[in-house]
Amino acid sequence: MRQSGPLTAIIFACTALLTFLTPAPVPAQDATRPRPGGEPIRLVALGDSLTAGYGLPQEAAFPAVLERALKAKGYNVQIANAGVSGDTASGGLDRLDWSVPDGTDGVILELGANDMLRGIDPEVPRNAIETIVERLKERHIPVMLAGMRASRNLGHAYTEQFDSLYGDIAQKHGLVLYPFFLDGVAGDASLNLQDGLHPTAKGIEIIVGRILPTVEKFLATLPRR
């Protein structure tokens, strides 16, 4: 049966009204678009010597190289270097409040390597890293977690317990995870300083190249402020 003209007009008007009243979903922040006033997305790289850039000039440290790589792809970002050489996960927790200031849009968290090198019970860095995540979540600051792997000479039980902590925390808290910060660099003498532990400038470039897609994924999850 064909609808009359007035009835059709009423149905059309109601449909238009519902469409107008339905709230649009809040999109994630597009980091490639300028914010009001040209303000960038402010990230903090919170970590140990691998973040700090041990043995390297600051412009060759991970946060600086990552920032340049993101800007080259059109992202409007600033990355603060909050890496402290020698820091354990507990040390990072102790300085969390002043290392990550208010107004931070996201944190790239890289800690645990020094706990592993000292043979500290993996439950200690697990608890510290999870507490960092929880405290940042309370401040509405998203976290991307960069994992570490234990040296195989520490034994199967230790390595299994240590390696799993990053995935467990990421899954529990819904974090973007990069499983192994030193992927492609660990164990390669040509990409590490003489101590065999810290990347050269070339090593940092490889780390940034490999982690970049995960960081872009993280940026896409950041809410608008």
- 198 is known as an active-site residue: yes
CA of 183: how far to CAs of 150, 210, 216, in Å? 13, 8, 17
Helices marked H in the chain = 5-21, 49-52, 62-72, 89-94, 96-99, 113-117, 123-138, 156-173, 201-221
Alpha-carbon torsion angle 62, 67, 68, 72, nearest 10: 140
CB 93 within 8 A of CB 132: yes
For 74-123, give the DSSP string. Answer: T--EEEEEEE-TT--HHHHHHTHHHHS-TT--EEEEE--HHHHHTT--TH
Summarize pLDDT for 174-203 with one digit per residue, the tens.
999 999 999 999 999 999 999 999 999 999
Summarize pLDDT for 76-97 with one digit per residue, the tens.
999 999 999 999 999 999 999 9
The architecture (CATH level 2) of 31-221 comes to 3-Layer(aba) Sandwich (3.40)
Q: For the chain, which residues make up each domain, given as ranges?
A: 31-221
Neighbours of 120 (CB within 10 A): 17
- How far is residue 14's CA from residue 9's CA, in Å, rounded to a whole number? 9
**Residue from 4, 102, 190, 195 carrying the catalytic annotation:** 195
Identify the residue whose tokens are 């990347």: 199
**Residue from 49, 90, 99, 105 carrying the catalytic annotation:** 49
Give, in degrees to the nearest 5, the angle at Cα 51 between 73 and 34.
30
Edge-to-edge strand ranges of the sheet holding 176-178: 77-83, 41-47, 106-110, 143-146, 176-178
HSE, CB side, 13 Å, CA atoms: give it for residue 100: 28
Rg (CA), the chain: 22
Summarize pLDDT for 33-86 with one digit per residue, the tens.
544 447 899 999 999 999 999 999 999 999 999 999 999 999 999 999 999 999
- 140 is known as an active-site residue: no
CB 111 within 8 A of CB 125: yes
Give the pLDDT of residue 124. 98
- 156 is known as an active-site residue: no
- How far is residue 213's CA from residue 19's CA, in Å, rounded to a whole number? 36
Give the pLDDT of residue 225. 59
Closest C-alpha to 119, from 63, 83, 162: 162
- pLDDT above 80 (res 166): yes
**Residue from 87, 99, 105, 198 carrying the catalytic annotation:** 198
